[in-house]
């Protein structure tokens, strides 16, 4: 409670008022009491003085004889001065000589008064020779306690003393009443002041309180006030004081916040939509790349792998490859200027144009010349593309190629170190009308490698701004060019680049396309297609036996090879096709490699990857031993390399066995 | 061809050279039938002639050992290449193989 501003102000005012009232009262009471005391003393002294003056020694001589006493004197001593004081005449032994008609002088009290008041007064006067007084409380006949003061006058007569007795409580009464009145008035003023100041504080702090409350709940209400709250705040804002200014600022804050929230929401939704569209654009762009980034090695005696890693959502790099007339293999790596949606669209146009031209021509120079002219007709944004285009004759390894401003590919020949496949400089595609691109010719012998890439590879930067560079790339190809399959080479380079860049962001698209020309292998390739049924097992078995019987090295392990194949085949027979469907199984046998035998098994049943089959659960408890999974387990144990793909609605399982 | 031999509560099976998936399937039918008739206390698989086994055959062995227990199911005359298959399948320890 004490934390609120209002209660703090209240407390402060109460403390100030109470302290001031206490001080006023104390000062008043002290001063009044002092004055009353002085007045009493003075009046008592005054009375005694008069008496002293009006009495002389002569008059006192007969005091002891009441009958003879001076009438004047008698009257003096029996009459009270006021209703509250009177004069007593006392002899040396304390006896009252003239008795005034006062009830405290009742007979039973006389002895006490004589001994406790009069005698001590007389003795003291005699001792100290100056007037003196004693204050004593005494009961009246009505049993009421009254405070008396007895003051003795200076000696007038050696045997008689004059004493002035006064009821001080009565004499001081007006003073007391004054103090009491003062107290009451002060208390009233205090109460009134408190009430008024509390009301004032409330009036002052109420708007502040209301504002604070609204401000506190503002976030819960999404920074929006309802009509009632708004009118409250508007009322507060009408004035001219600080709180009104605050209310105005509050209203401004509320409306500004609402505006910002609206803006923020709008910008977020725009951003989300943009992100969604970028994702879709990337999907479309990646969809333009060949569906498979590798090609069937056994059939086409070429091992290819391509990879593209865009720096942003959409990029400007692209690659393409494919077969032409079953005799040629074309391959392209291109890099469109900039990386944006515009460059992605430009890439799509370029790729479409290329695709159309490639089908009907086997001269890369001519193809690029035509594509360049076509692009210039549509190139409103002055974009351009660097490109390497090659066409390989699968039968003899001859490559025709052209290069439009693209980084030169690297060729790794047998028994040579890697080097760049350079050409005369030719302009980039899409800038100059009528450029005639030249076609160059080279050839790949068996096992030779060609590596085409975009500048994202060589320009990869680490945190010290060092480039990966040509030399590191040449070095890498030299060391790892022999890796098989060729996919291992590109994958390793990607890892190497990632290690080089560490946590630096990729600034450019990275594209790589690697290919190895394999030996023409028509003689060592065999194929058998049979229905997917249990009786085919023996036929597949005999087929493999028959084709391998001349090779004693293979015969040594023929049981293992066949067992792996059989487990793959029996899986297909049992699970791939629905019971009512007559499916088929095709087995390719590749004996073209000196160091390995490759069996490829294809079926068109439902997708199933035996390399991802659950591992065999081997428990010590024989009862828990599962019968399933043994086949896949054996297959994996018996092959040196196992590869699964699902392509064109086909399960393709490749089993590779080393020949020792 | 799967043959069997009944001798004092012991059931002795003899198998053909190639126990591939198909032959194992055929053998399993015969084995189940015979066991059902004879209720043997001990079963012996004689692999003397067997030069090749597929996983289907291993499955038969597993169901045997589950049925009979390790002590009452013996696999004998096993050729090295067949032993190897048992070994790489990880099942070797579940059987009495000689």
Q: Which of B20, B70, B89 sits opposite A566 (nearest CB)?
A: B20
The answer to whether B34 contacts chain A (CB < 8 Å) is: no
Do A634 and A487 fall within a single domain? no
pLDDT digits (tens, 9 = 90+) for A408-418: 999 999 888 99
Convert A109-129 to b/e letters by CB count within 10 Å (16 or more is b).
ebeebeeebbbebbebbeeee
pLDDT band with cut points at 50, 70 and 90 for residue A520? low
The answer to whether position A186 is within a domain reads: no
| Residue B79: both structure tokens together | 């050729």
| CA dihedral over A215, A220, A221, A223, signed as positive or negative | positive
Q: Do A559 and B59 touch (CB under 8 A)?
A: no
Q: Do A638 and B88 touch (CB under 8 A)?
A: yes
The answer, yes or no, to whether residue A141 has pLDDT greater than 80, is no
How many C-beta neighbours within 10 Å does residue A637 have?
Answer: 16
Does A204 map to a domain?
no
- The domain that contains A377 carries what CATH number? 3.60.40.10
Residues in chain A: 660
Among chain B residues, the shortest Cα distance to A573 is held by B21
A522 — pLDDT class (breaks 50, 70, 90): low
Token digits of residue A435: 């450029």
pLDDT band at A106 (very low <50, low <70, confident <90, very high): low
Query: Could you tell me if A481 and A607 lie in one domain?
Result: no
> For residue range B46-96, what is the model confidence (pLDDT) as tens digits?
999 999 999 889 889 988 988 888 889 999 999 998 999 988 888 888 888
Nearest CA in chain A to B65: A622
Cβ of residue B55 closer than 8 Å to a chain A Cβ: yes
> What pairing do the DSSP bridges indicate for beta strands A510-517 and A302-309?
antiparallel
A472 in the same domain as A332: yes
Is the same domain home to A123 and A47?
A: yes
A106/A234 same-domain check: no
Query: Which of A535, A563, A625 is the closest to B54 by Cβ?
Result: A563
- pLDDT higher than 70, residue A585: yes
pLDDT score for A656: 93
Report if residue A211 sits inside a domain.
Answer: no
Compute the mean pLDDT over every residue in chain A, rounded to the nearest whole number.
Answer: 82
- Phi, psi (deg, nearest 5) at residue B18: -115, 105
pLDDT tens sequence across A369-379: 999 998 888 77
* Cα(B31)–Cα(A479) distance, integer angstroms: 59
pLDDT band at A59 (very low <50, low <70, confident <90, very high): low
Res. A521 pLDDT band, cuts 50 70 90: very low
Position A108 scores a pLDDT of 67
Which helix (DSSP H) or strand (DSSP E) does residue A184 occupy? helix A173-217
What pLDDT band is residue A351 in, cutting at 50, 70 and 90?
confident
Question: Comparing C-alpha atoms, which of A387, A409, A389, A289 is closest to residue A337?
Answer: A387
Mean pLDDT, rounded, for A272-301: 75
Tell me: the pLDDT tens digits for A473-495? 999 999 998 888 888 899 999 99
Determine the Cα–Cα distance for residues A339 and A428; give it in Å rounded to an integer: 16
pLDDT at A559 over 50: yes
Which residue range(s) make up the domain with A275? 218-288
Q: What is the DSSP string of A94-111?
A: S-EEE--S-GGG-HHHHH
> By three-state DSSP, how is residue A625 classified?
coil
- Report the number of distinct structural domains present in chain A: 4
Most confident of A57-66, A248-257, A343-352, A428-437: A428-437
Q: Could you tell me the domains of chain B?
A: 3-97 (3.30.750.24)
Domain stops at, among A517, A551, A572: A517
Comparing CA positions, the residue from A219, A116, A104, A227 lying closest to residue A170 is A104
Residue A44 neighbours by CB distance under 10 Å: 22
Are residues A643 and A590 in contact, defined by beta-carbon separation less than 8 angstroms? no
pTM: 0.43
- How many other β-carbons are positioned within 10 Å of the β-carbon of residue A473? 23
- Residue A513 and residue A201: Cα distance in Å, rounded? 83
Amino acid A72: pLDDT: 65
Residue A91 confidence (pLDDT) above 70:
yes
User: Does the pLDDT at position A96 exceed 60?
Assistant: yes
**How close A619 comes to chain B (CA, Å)?**
10
A302 in the same domain as A280: no
- H runs (alpha helix) in A397-464: 455-458
Residue of higher predicted confidence among A439 and A81: A439
Same-domain status, A416 and A485: yes
In a domain, A209, yes or no: no
Please compute, for residue B81, the number of CA atoms within 13 A of its CA located in the half-sphere on the CB side.
19
Residue A624 lies in a domain: yes
Shared-domain flag, residues A427 and A454? yes
A437 with A586, same domain: the answer is no
Q: Are strands A85-91 and A80-82 parallel, antiparallel or unpaired?
A: antiparallel
So what's the pLDDT on residue A473?
94
Query: Which residues of chain A does B67 touch, with a Cβ-Cβ cutoff of 8 Å?
Result: none
pLDDT of residue A1: 43
Residue A397 pLDDT: 86
Cα A584 to Cα A290, A369, A653, B56, B97, distances in angstroms: 27, 47, 14, 21, 38
* CATH code, A23: 3.30.450.20
B17 touches chain A (CB under 8 A): no
Could you tell me if residue A619 is inside a domain? yes
A601: left (phi over 0), alpha (psi -120 to 50) or beta: beta
Task: Tell me, yes or no, whether A442 and A307 share the same domain.
Answer: yes
Calculate how close chain A gets to B91, using CA atoms only, in Å.
Answer: 8
Chain B: give the shortest CA distance to residue A534, in Å: 6
Give the highest mean pLDDT range of A196-200, A380-384, A406-410: A406-410
The CATH number covering residue A529 comes to 3.30.565.10
> Is residue A371 included in any domain, yes or no?
yes
pLDDT tens digits, A162-191:
888 887 777 777 777 887 888 888 888 888
Residues A73 and A136 grouped into a single domain:
yes
Residues in contact with A354: Cβ distance below 8 Å, sequence separation at least 6, in sequence order: A320, A332, A367, A371, A389
pLDDT at A298 over 60: no
CA B81/CA B50 separation, integer angstroms: 10
Residue where a domain terminates, one of A258, A288, A318: A288
Report whether pLDDT(A459) > 70.
yes
CB A367 within 8 A of CB A396: no
| Alpha-carbon gap: B10 to the closest alpha carbon of chain A (Å) | 22
Is A416 part of a structural domain of the chain?
Answer: yes
Specify whether the CB–CB gap between A165 and A148 falls below 8 A: yes
Q: Which of A496, A517, A538 is the last residue of a domain?
A: A517
Distance of alpha carbon A214 from alpha carbon A223, whole angstroms: 10
Residues A389 and A529 in one domain: no
pLDDT value for A314: 67
CA A421 to CA A413: how far, in whole Å?
Answer: 11
């Amino acid at each position: 409670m004490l934390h609120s501003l209002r209660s703090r102000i209240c407390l402060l005012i109460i403390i100030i008022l109470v302290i001031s009232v206490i001080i006023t009262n104390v000062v008043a009471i002290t001063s009044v009491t002092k004055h009353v005391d002085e007045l009493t003393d003075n009046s008592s002294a005054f009375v005694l003085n008069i008496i002293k003056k009006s009495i002389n020694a002569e008059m006192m001589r007969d005091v002891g004889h009441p009958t003879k006493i001076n009438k004047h004197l008698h009257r003096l001593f029996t009459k009270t001065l006021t209703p509250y004081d009177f004069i007593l005449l006392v002899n040396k032994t304390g006896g009252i000589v003239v008795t005034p008609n006062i009830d405290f002088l009742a007979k039973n009290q006389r002895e006490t008064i004589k001994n406790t008041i009069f005698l001590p007064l007389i003795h003291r006067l005699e001792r100290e020779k100056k007037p003196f007084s004693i204050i004593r409380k005494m009961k009246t006949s009505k049993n009421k306690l009254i405070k008396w003061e007895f003051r003795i006058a200076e000696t007038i007569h050696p045997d008689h003393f004059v004493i002035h007795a006064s009821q001080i409580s009565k004499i001081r009464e007006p003073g007391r009443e004054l103090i009491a009145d003062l107290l009451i008035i002060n208390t009233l003023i205090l109460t009134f002041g408190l009430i008024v100041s509390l009301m004032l504080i409330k009036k002052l702090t109420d708007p502040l309180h209301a504002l604070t409350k609204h401000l506190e709940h503002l976030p819960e209400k999404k920074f929006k006030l309802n009509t009632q709250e708004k009118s409250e705040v508007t009322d507060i804002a009408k004035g001219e004081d600080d709180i009104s200014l605050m209310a105005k600022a509050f209203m401004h804050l509320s409306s500004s916040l609402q505006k910002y929230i609206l803006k923020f929401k709008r910008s977020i939704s725009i951003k989300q939509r943009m992100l969604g569209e970028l994702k879709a654009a990337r999907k479309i762009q990646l969809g333009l790349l060949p569906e498979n980034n590798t090609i069937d090695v056994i059939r086409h005696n070429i091992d290819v792998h391509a990879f593209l890693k865009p720096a942003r959502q959409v990029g400007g790099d692209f690659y393409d490859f494919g077969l032409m007339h079953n005799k040629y293999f074309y391959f392209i790596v291109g890099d469109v200027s900039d990386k944006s949606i515009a460059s992605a669209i430009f890439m799509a146009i370029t790729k479409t144009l290329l695709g159309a031209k490639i089908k009907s021509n086997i001269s890369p120079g001519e193809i690029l010349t035509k594509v360049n002219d076509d692009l210039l007709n549509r190139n409103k944004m002055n974009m351009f593309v660097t490109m390497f285009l090659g066409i390989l004759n699968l039968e003899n390894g001859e490559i025709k190629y052209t290069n439009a401003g693209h980084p030169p590919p690297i060729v790794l020949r047998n028994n040579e170190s890697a080097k760049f496949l350079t050409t005369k400089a030719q302009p980039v595609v899409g800038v100059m009308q009528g450029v005639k691109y030249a076609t160059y010719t080279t050839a790949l012998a068996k096992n030779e490698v060609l590596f085409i890439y975009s500048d994202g590879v060589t320009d990869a930067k680490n945190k010290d701004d060092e480039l990966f560079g040509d030399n590191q790339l040449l070095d890498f190809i030299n060391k790892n060019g022999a890796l098989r399959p060729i996919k291992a080479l590109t994958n390793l380079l990607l890892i190497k680049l990632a290690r080089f860049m560490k946590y630096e962001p990729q600034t450019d698209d990275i594209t790589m396309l690697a290919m190895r020309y394999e030996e023409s292998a028509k003689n060592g390739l065999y194929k058998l297609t049979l229905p997917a049924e249990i009786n085919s097992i023996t036929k597949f078995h005999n087929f493999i036996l028959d084709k391998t019987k001349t090779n004693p090295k293979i015969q040594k392990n023929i049981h293992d090879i066949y067992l792996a194949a059989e487990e793959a085949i029996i899986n297909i027979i049992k699970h791939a096709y629905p019971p009512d469907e007559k499916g088929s199984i095709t087995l390719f046998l590749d004996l073209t490699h000196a160091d390995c035998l490759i069996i490829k098994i294809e079926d068109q049943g439902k997708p199933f990857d035996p390399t991802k089959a659950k591992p065999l659960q081997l428990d010590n408890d024989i009862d828990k031993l599962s019968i399933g999974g043994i086949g896949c387990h054996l297959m994996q144990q018996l092959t040196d390399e196992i590869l699964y793909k699902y392509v064109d609605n086909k399960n393709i399982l490749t089993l590779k066995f080393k020949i020792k | 061809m799967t043959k069997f031999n009944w001798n004092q509560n012991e059931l002795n099976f003899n198998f053909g050279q190639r126990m591939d998936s198909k032959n194992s399937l055929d053998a399993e039918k015969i084995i189940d039938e015979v066991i059902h008739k004879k209720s043997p206390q001990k079963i012996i698989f004689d692999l003397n002639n067997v030069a090749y086994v597929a996983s289907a055959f291993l499955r038969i062995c597993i169901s045997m050992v589950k049925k009979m227990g390790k002590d009452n199911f013996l696999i004998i005359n096993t050729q090295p290449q067949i032993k190897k298959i048992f070994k790489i399948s990880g099942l070797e320890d579940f059987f009495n193989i000689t």
